[in-house]
Amino acid sequence: SELDAFRQDRERLERQVADVEHDNHRFSTRFLELEQRNSDLANLYVATYRLHGTLDREEVYQAIQEIVINLVGCEEFGIYEATAEGHQLSLRSHFGLEDPRYQTLEVGDGLIRRALATGDVVLAGAAGAAIPNEADLTACVPLKLGTRVVGAIVLFRLLPQKGGRLAAVDAELFDILATQAAPAVYCTNLHSQFGASADSAI
């Protein structure tokens, strides 16, 4: 009788210890998730601040490059401006794209055209076929002024540590770039025009 009671007490204590360990693991996992989310939010804030923290065009391009390199983790990408007809993208700034064929991208029937037509970020592997000059494409982020698409950030190869995959926070960064990068560049153009006029007036 006493031995049975002892065994029951031991089993009850073992269950309690297991429950405590399970709760500790759950709280630890949740803490890490919250810590990662805080880091992601901090990165999103920094990205937005960097885009609107200057009225110098080259510094805005530099800010875009730093976001794509350091926060997204891409080693080959270009910042392009769409021609008036929308049939081509002309390279304005880049990182890692030394091949002359990337200076101008023809907007064919592939993923880049889809991004420009819809104004939505398009990822490699999305519905729709890529064309030959999109063989190494990772993502195409349209640059929008309101509802008008004026260019794109075209991402090719990711950094090795990304493992060939985009994270959830990358989608949020792409949304920020899609809606904030073009207005930031546009403001530098206005500042350049009206700033020069103001200086000449003085």
* pLDDT for residue 41: 76
Given this model, what pLDDT does residue 133 score?
A: 65
Extract the residue ranges of the chain whose pLDDT is less than 70: 36, 126-133, 194-202
Supply the pLDDT for residue 129: 54
* pLDDT of the residue at 126: 58
Looking at residue 198, its pLDDT comes to 46
Token pair in block for residue 20 = 């405590």
pLDDT for 194: 65
CA dihedral 157, 163, 164, 167 (to 10 degrees): -110
pLDDT digits (tens, 9 = 90+) for 93-108: 999 988 888 888 877 7
What percent of the chain shows pLDDT beyond 90? 14
